Amino acid sequence: MAEYEIVCTVQTGCTAGGHILAVCRGGADHPMRVAEIYQSMDGGDRYFTDAGGLKAYVRKWACPCGEGTLRSMADATLRNNLDSLPLCG
């Protein structure tokens, strides 16, 4: 089990904000797809974003379009801290 910081995201434009397709972990050199993150979470790993020292954990979330994706938990200050991260690439 481990905790990983998410530092940037790959998103699709299915909704106004889009949903997360993949994320980069701090120190990683390639994005991990949501399915890989789900597997990792199932193994007990936790993921978070850190916006100016404010840590927000990320959980599984089903986008209204039907895709499984990721979202910041309710304690996030913004609507979705993941959306505040830079895009990959």
Site for Zn ion in 18-47 (CB under 5 A): 19
Does 7 interact with Zn ion (rule: CB under 5 A)?
no
Binding pattern for the stretch 60-79 against Zn ion, x by CB under 5 A and - elsewhere? ---x-x-x------------
The size of the interface with Zn ion (CB under 5 A), counted in residues, is: 5
Output the 3-class SS for 27-42. Answer: CCCCCEEHHHHHHHHH
Beta-strand relationship, 68-72 and 3-12: unpaired
Query: Judging by beta carbons within 10 Å of its beta carbon (0-12, 13-18, 19+), is residue 53 exposed, middle or buried?
Result: exposed
Does 14 interact with Zn ion (rule: CB under 5 A)?
yes
Q: Which is nearer to Zn ion, 55 or 79 (CB)?
A: 79
Summarize as ranges the residues that interact with Zn ion (CB under 5 A): 14, 19, 63, 65, 67
